[in-house]
């Protein structure tokens, strides 16, 4: 079957966990054919290296959500005519009213969203219209209307311009040439409408193409979220506000902009949850967020992200730790959410009790906040001055900052091989990938209760409150002093990880869901205007055997076109599963069962 994989900022651009999961998915499901529709978030991402594509990926089509909108057709810079301008005003007014409203208005949001999509298909030039003065005035009217968000009522003209620009970028998938015939689409097998199933990774702009083709031709939509889009938006807005407060005083316009964009993200996620046939959160923490945002429980199926366990098998089989000094290992991106500062203060307490202890901080990628990374290095130098054995020796520091691929840690598995205890100190966390890697490696863990940590650990490690360096230090010391307990916890952790978090269980779950959704659509084949007709084909058309006709007298119907009727005797097989509407109506006194009536041709008992 043909699967359209819809991504935003992930596969095949990035090298993060989302891209790695998509790569394992398209490579592992060899019985399907994938076309990747990828949205890039930045110039660096768009121009950077991409993942190697397996044979199952038929084509990759890309578009960007950054920079000015592309001008691809003649007349793109011109505005709409009178009729198209009136249609745009009606549709964008509905969308803006739903975004600015205090209470959710799903019907108005859907009307405006799909109206804008149809307008882009028929007339094109939607990006220019979304950045026009007309769009700003319509948004301003929605902000001033009764029942609007309190923070939106004070929006100034710069605020409205900023929101309109961000909305145009988020709605850019509505104008892409991915949807088949029309001014804004390309036909043929390369179009999204030719896919049997749309699999969107995230409920943000990546879900928009899936929503459009579902609205137009009824293509089923499967939605996977390992990091909930609305949650990421809130955390990103809070982080931006903190950076503004640290660098320069925030402008008065920041609050209305953040409020309106958060409302848009929430409305878009709710529409994606409403239309998706199946939603697969990566953990219970993400599932709770989705339910708060409007996802129905019967659609939710938790599927843990599959991870490769083979790179860590050799580490788990080691009897001991290669490093003679007791080493605490931390892996991840050095950013405020990981709270490396609290870990450094906790390690200072550990060193007072265990002077031989070492701390290895392994970065898994470039720091998103270089200032925070520099602050952590300065703090480590202040807390732990270089130590030397004598006046002639070179001093060393018990805290080591390094990255995967360096001479100290050529591979990620080498970091876990040196660990006596793996530590996670995050204040904010989604799905803790580093903990699963440590569990595959058979290492005991100490982690903070953030995100899905408790769900992943499941009693195979020590969990404590976040932002508590003293508690973190006490837990690390407990395990450093008790090698037998470390071994027991590590073995239990590896057994749990192999049961729940492997690639095989992930691929099996998605393969089953693909077949289920395609079966639903096949059963409803025969569409008109995007609406399925369940009985467009009779049920016996799906059975690969010849139907036997019962001996019901001279008016008996033939078994098939051009085939003679076969008498129904006691030795002939009964038509298993034959629907009731395919049989002739019963007469008065006729039995309910499928056998012939007694006295109407014989053969009955």
What is the model's pLDDT at position 271?
A: 96
What is the mean predicted confidence (pLDDT) over 216-236?
85
DSSP letters along 533-575, please? -TTSS-GGGG-SSPPPPP---TTPPPSBTTBPPPP--TTSPP-
What is the mean predicted confidence (pLDDT) over 443-450?
96
What is the model's pLDDT at position 392?
A: 66
What is the mean predicted confidence (pLDDT) over 240-267?
67
- Farthest-apart Cα atoms in the chain, separation: 114
pLDDT tens profile 353-365:
999 999 999 998 7
- Exposed, middle or buried: residue 297 (CB in 10 Å: 0-12, 13-18, 19+)? exposed
Cα gap 360→408, rounded to integer Å: 10
Q: Which two tokens stand for residue 112?
A: 């405006």
- Tell me how far CA of residue 388 lies from CA of 328, 391, 394, 408, 601, in angstroms: 21, 7, 6, 20, 106
Choose the most confident range, by mean pLDDT, from 189-198, 331-340, 559-568. Answer: 331-340
Q: Which residue has the tokens 């001279």?
A: 554
327 secondary structure, DSSP code: E
Percent of the chain with pLDDT over 90: 59
What is the mean predicted confidence (pLDDT) over 166-174?
95
- Exposed, middle or buried: residue 547 (CB in 10 Å: 0-12, 13-18, 19+)? middle
State whether residue 169 is helix, strand or coil.
helix
What is the model's pLDDT at position 393?
A: 65
What is the mean predicted confidence (pLDDT) over 322-347?
90
What is the model's pLDDT at position 78?
A: 59
- Phi, psi dihedral angles at 3 (to 5 degrees): -110, 130
Q: Which two tokens stand for residue 65?
A: 């959500």
Enter the CATH code of domain 310-501: 3.40.50.2000
Cα gap 366→370, rounded to integer Å: 8
397 secondary structure, DSSP code: -
Q: How confident is the model at residue 366 (pLDDT cuts 50, 70, 90)?
A: confident
Regarding beta strands 221-225 and 197-201, do their DSSP bridges make them parallel or antiparallel, or are they unpaired?
A: parallel
Whether 308 has a pLDDT exceeding 70, the answer reads: yes
Whether 57 has a pLDDT exceeding 60, the answer reads: yes
Q: Which two tokens stand for residue 101?
A: 């409203």
Task: Give yes or no for a contact between 496 and 490, defined as CB atoms under 8 angstroms apart.
Answer: no
User: Which residues on adjacent β-strands are paired with residue 8?
Assistant: 39
Mean of per-residue pLDDT scores for the chain: 82
Residue 546's Cβ-side half-sphere holds a number of Cα atoms within 13 Å equal to 13
First to last CA, the chain: 48
User: Which residues on adjacent β-strands are paired with residue 502?
Assistant: 307
pLDDT tens profile 399-443:
999 999 999 899 999 999 999 999 999 998 988 999 999 999 999
What is the model's pLDDT at position 235?
A: 72
What is the mean predicted confidence (pLDDT) over 452-478?
96
pLDDT tens profile 526-569:
444 444 455 455 544 444 444 444 444 444 444 444 444 444 44
Task: Give yes or no for a contact between 399 and 317, defined as CB atoms under 8 angstroms apart.
Answer: no
Residue span(s) of the chain under CATH 3.40.50.2000 come to 1-67+176-229+275-306+502-537, 310-501
More confident of the two residues 415 and 576: 415
Q: How confident is the model at residue 4 (pLDDT cuts 50, 70, 90)?
A: very high
Task: Give yes or no for a contact between 278 and 223, defined as CB atoms under 8 angstroms apart.
Answer: yes
pLDDT tens profile 134-150:
999 999 999 999 999 99
Whether 195 has a pLDDT exceeding 60, the answer reads: yes
Q: Which two tokens stand for residue 141?
A: 């009217």
Closest CA to 548 of 578, 587, 580: 578
- Tell me how far CA of residue 187 lies from CA of 159, 182, 196, 378, in angstroms: 39, 8, 15, 58
What is the mean predicted confidence (pLDDT) over 65-91?
77
Q: Which two tokens stand for residue 541?
A: 């058309």
What is the mean predicted confidence (pLDDT) over 345-373?
90
- Tell me how far CA of residue 565 lies from CA of 44, 305, 554, 568, 579, in angstroms: 70, 54, 11, 9, 18
CATH topology for 1-67+176-229+275-306+502-537? Rossmann fold (3.40.50)
- Phi, psi dihedral angles at 8 (to 5 degrees): -135, 115
What is the model's pLDDT at position 318?
A: 73
Task: Give yes or no for a contact between 517 and 278, defined as CB atoms under 8 angstroms apart.
Answer: yes
Task: Give yes or no for a contact between 45 and 76, defined as CB atoms under 8 angstroms apart.
Answer: no
Q: How confident is the model at residue 248 (pLDDT cuts 50, 70, 90)?
A: very low
What is the model's pLDDT at position 190?
A: 57
Q: Which residue has the tokens 């989705």?
A: 290
Closest CA to 300 of 319, 274, 268, 326: 274
> How many CB atoms are closer than 10 A to CB 602?
9
Q: Which two tokens stand for residue 131?
A: 């950045």
What is the model's pLDDT at position 149?
A: 92
CB neighbour list of residue 245: distance below 8 Å, 6 or more residues apart: none
Q: How confident is the model at residue 201 (pLDDT cuts 50, 70, 90)?
A: very high
Q: Which two tokens stand for residue 173?
A: 């998938």
Q: Which two tokens stand for residue 309?
A: 């366990």
On the question of a cis peptide bond just before residue 463, with omega within 30 degrees of 0, the verdict is no
State whether residue 5 is helix, strand or coil.
strand
CB neighbour list of residue 552: distance below 8 Å, 6 or more residues apart: 584, 596, 597, 600, 601
> How many CB atoms are closer than 10 A to CB 381?
12
What is the model's pLDDT at position 124?
A: 86
> How many CB atoms are closer than 10 A to CB 237?
18
Cα gap 343→422, rounded to integer Å: 12
427 secondary structure, DSSP code: S
- Tell me how far CA of residue 70 lies from CA of 42, 67, 79, 124, 127, in angstroms: 15, 9, 15, 12, 9
CB neighbour list of residue 136: distance below 8 Å, 6 or more residues apart: 157, 160, 161, 164
Task: Give yes or no for a contact between 55 and 72, defined as CB atoms under 8 angstroms apart.
Answer: no
- Phi, psi dihedral angles at 108 (to 5 degrees): -65, -40
Q: How confident is the model at residue 181 (pLDDT cuts 50, 70, 90)?
A: low
Q: Which two tokens stand for residue 440?
A: 């595959």
What is the mean predicted confidence (pLDDT) over 577-594?
45
pTM of the model: 0.79
Whether 578 has a pLDDT exceeding 50, the answer reads: no
What is the model's pLDDT at position 404?
A: 92
Cα gap 437→443, rounded to integer Å: 9
CB neighbour list of residue 147: distance below 8 Å, 6 or more residues apart: 101, 102, 103
What is the model's pLDDT at position 596?
A: 42
Q: Which two tokens stand for residue 416?
A: 């876990």
Strand stretches in 94-217, DSSP E: 197-201
pLDDT tens profile 101-160:
998 888 999 999 999 999 999 888 899 999 999 999 999 999 999 999 998 998 999 999
Whether 244 has a pLDDT exceeding 50, the answer reads: no
């Amino acid at each position: 079957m043909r699967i359209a994989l819809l991504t935003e900022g992930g596969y095949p651009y990035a090298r993060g966990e989302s891209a790695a999961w998509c790569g394992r998915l398209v490579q592992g499901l060899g019985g399907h054919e994938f076309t990747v529709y990828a949205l890039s978030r930045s110039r660096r991402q768009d121009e950077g290296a991409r993942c190697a594509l397996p044979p199952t990926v038929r084509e990759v089509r890309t578009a960007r959500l950054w920079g000015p909108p592309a001008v691809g057709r003649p007349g793109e810079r011109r505005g709409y005519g009178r009729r198209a301008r009136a249609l745009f005003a009606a549709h964008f007014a509905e969308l803006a009213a739903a975004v600015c409203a205090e209470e959710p208005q799903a019907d108005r949001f859907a009307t405006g969203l799909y109206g804008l999509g149809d307008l882009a298909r028929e007339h094109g030039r939607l990006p220019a219209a979304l950045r026009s003065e007309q769009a700003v005035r319509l948004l301003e009217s929605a902000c001033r209307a009764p029942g609007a968000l309190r923070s939106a009522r004070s929006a100034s003209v710069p605020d409205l311009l900023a929101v309109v620009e961000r909305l145009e970028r988020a709605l850019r998938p509505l104008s892409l040439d991915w949807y088949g015939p029309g001014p804004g689409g390309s036909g043929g097998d390369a179009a999204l409408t030719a896919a049997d199933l749309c699999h969107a990774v995230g409920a943000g702009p990546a879900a928009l193409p899936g929503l459009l083709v579902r609205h137009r031709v009824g293509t089923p939509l499967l939605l996977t979220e390992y990091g909930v889009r609305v949650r990421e938006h809130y955390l990103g807005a809070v982080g931006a506000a903190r950076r503004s407060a640290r660098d320069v005083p925030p402008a008065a316009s920041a609050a209305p902009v953040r409020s309106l964009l958060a409302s848009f993200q929430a409305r878009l996620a709710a529409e994606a949850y409403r239309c998706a046939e199946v939603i697969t959160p990566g953990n219970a923490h993400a599932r709770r967020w989705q339910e708060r945002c409007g996802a129905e429980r019967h659609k939710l199926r938790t599927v843990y992200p599959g991870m490769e366990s083979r790179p860590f098998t050799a580490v788990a089989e080691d009897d001991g730790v290669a490093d003679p000094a007791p080493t605490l290992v931390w892996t991840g991106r050095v950013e405020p959410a990981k709270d490396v500062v609290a870990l450094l203060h906790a390690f200072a307490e550990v060193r007072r009790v265990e002077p031989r202890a070492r701390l290895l901080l392994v970065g898994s990628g470039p720091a998103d906040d270089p200032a925070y990374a520099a602050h952590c290095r300065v703090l480590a130098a202040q807390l732990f001055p270089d130590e030397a054995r004598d006046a002639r020796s070179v001093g060393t520091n018990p805290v080591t900052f390094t990255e995967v691929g360096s001479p100290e840690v050529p591979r990620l598995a080498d970091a876990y091989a040196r660990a006596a205890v793996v530590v996670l100190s995050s204040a904010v966390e989604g799905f803790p990938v580093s903990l699963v890697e440590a569990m595959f490696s058979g290492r005991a863990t100490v982690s903070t209760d953030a995100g899905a940590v408790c769900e992943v650990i499941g009693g195979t490690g020590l969990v404590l409150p976040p932002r508590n360096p003293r508690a973190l230090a006490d837990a690390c010391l407990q395990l450093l002093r008790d090698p037998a307990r470390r071994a027991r916890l590590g073995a239990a952790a590896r057994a749990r990880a192999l049961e729940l978090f492997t690639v095989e269980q992930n691929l099996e779950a998605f393969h089953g869901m693909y077949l289920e959704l395609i079966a639903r659509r096949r059963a409803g084949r025969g569409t008109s205007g995007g609406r399925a007709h369940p009985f467009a084909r009779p049920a016996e058309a799906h059975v690969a055997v010849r139907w036997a006709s019962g001996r019901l007298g001279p008016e008996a119907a033939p078994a098939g076109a051009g085939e003679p009727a076969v008498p129904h005797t006691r030795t002939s097989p009964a038509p298993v599963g034959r629907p009731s509407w395919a049989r002739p109506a019963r007469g008065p006194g006729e039995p309910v069962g499928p056998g012939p009536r007694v006295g109407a041709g014989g053969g009955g008992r």
